[in-house]
Amino acid sequence: MSLRTLIKLRESKLKNKAYEKQKLINYKNPHEISLVAKIMKQQNLLLINAICDYKKLNKYERQEMIDKFFKVNYYCPEIKKYHKKETNQDTNTF
């Protein structure tokens, strides 16, 4: 290897270290609602799998159940600006 290549490799390594350090400094915590959505998504998938296990479905029937009942809008909560609208959202589901 030539000296020029070694210099480029060292510069690249230093730039990568600086980038990783900057990324750690500028880290922002995820929004609370995204954490709730992830938990809801995991729990919905666990529930569908538990139902499939209870009904003793094969893998094709299980996949059909997941395709049919595992939808994005089932685990993405909606944020309302006012408390009254939030309570109305809950009562309008039934």
> Tens digit of pLDDT for each residue in 51-64?
999 999 999 999 99
b or e along 46-60 (b: 16 or more beta carbons within 10 Å of the residue's beta carbon)?
A: eebeeebeeeeeeee
**Overall domain count for the chain:** 1
pTM for this structure?
0.53
> Tens digit of pLDDT for each residue in 30-80?
777 788 888 888 998 999 999 999 999 999 999 999 999 888 776 666 776
Q: What is the pLDDT of residue 38?
A: 86
The answer to whether residue 43 sits within a structural domain is yes
The rounded radius of gyration (Å) of the Cα atoms in the chain is 24
The answer to whether residue 42 sits within a structural domain is yes
**Phi, then psi, of 87 in degrees rounded to 5:** -70, -35
Helix axis angle, 59-69 to 32-55, nearest 10°: 140
Q: What is the pLDDT of residue 50?
A: 95
Per the structure block, which two tokens stand in for 42? Answer: 């995991």
The answer to whether residue 56 sits within a structural domain is yes
Residue 92, pLDDT above cutoff 60: no
The answer to whether residue 53 sits within a structural domain is yes
The answer to whether residue 84 sits within a structural domain is yes
Domain housing 81: 29-91
